[in-house]
Amino acid sequence: MHVLILGGTTEARRLAEILAAEAPGLRVTTSLAGRVAAPRLPPGEVRVGGFGGAGGLAAWLRAHRVDALVDATHPFARTIGHNAASAAATAHVPLLALRRPGWVPGAGDDWREAGSLEEAAGLLPALGRRVFLTTGRMGLAAFAALDGLWFLVRSVDAPEAPHPRHMEVVLDRGPFTLDGERDLLRRHRIDVVVTKDSGGSATAPKLRAAREAGVPVVVVRRPPVPDGVEAAAGPEEAARWVLGQRH
């Protein structure tokens, strides 16, 4: 049996690890988009780069005799999610979307929801002047016109233009600690945080640090899983689904 994991997330890597341990005879290929310069590689086979859209992915599924497809990409990777759904239907391959649960505000949180990065940018001038922007290096163009604000941008790799004029870049990769996030907010005098609802624990400490500091957080809502696609909330559940596809 051959399983293709569309990866790049902690959950994708963990799924590959579980399958390698529990089903050593299973062929597992993880596909990475190639946007990160030095990704953490999972066990099994790894391919890097795009497929050329839904049609290219469907052709790859057929050519490599894939028996099950798991879309374990980032919750905000909308294009690949829809391409996976289309390709799986075309190639008649079972598809599962692995999506970690989203964050839920708690007592003391001051969250403002936004439907897009552009909507998030529109909220900022009324909320603060020193912004901790944790949405990654892609999409910074949405904030490029906000010349009256200062941005602390955190990403794995250095961002490219267009981006905000007044910004400082921190190159770092989670998981992050609560003490580290507290220090970062205090040291840079952050008065508003912007994040995508990525879920998970690796980057969640910033939310608690913001709550403790009384700093508002603009949370960009994640896109829904494509219609008709079964979803799993964690790698263990996804592994059970994969092993259940064996004939």
Domain boundaries, given as residue ranges, for the chain? 2-100+223-244, 111-220
Q: What is the pLDDT of residue 203?
A: 82
- Higher-scoring residue by pLDDT: 35, 165: 165
Over range 91-106, report the average pLDDT.
Answer: 95
* % of the chain beyond a pLDDT of 90: 81
Q: What is the pLDDT of residue 51?
A: 95
Q: Do domains 2-100+223-244 and 111-220 have the same CATH topology?
A: yes
Is the backbone peptide bond immediately before 175 cis, with ω within 30 degrees of 0?
yes
Q: What is the pLDDT of residue 120?
A: 98
Domain 111-220, CATH: 3.40.50.720
Domain 2-100+223-244, CATH: 3.40.50.720
Inter-CA distances, 117 with 33, 139, 143, Å: 21, 7, 8
Would you state the structure tokens that stand for residue 93, as one six-digit string?
């391959």
* % of the chain beyond a pLDDT of 70: 98
Q: What is the pLDDT of residue 38?
A: 66
pTM value > 0.75: yes
pLDDT band at 247 (very low <50, low <70, confident <90, very high): low
- 98 within 8 A of 77, measured Cβ to Cβ: no
pLDDT band at 78 (very low <50, low <70, confident <90, very high): confident
Is the backbone peptide bond immediately before 125 cis, with ω within 30 degrees of 0?
no
Q: Torsions phi, psi of 233, nearest 5?
A: -95, -10
Whether the per-residue pLDDT at 201 is higher than 70: the answer is yes
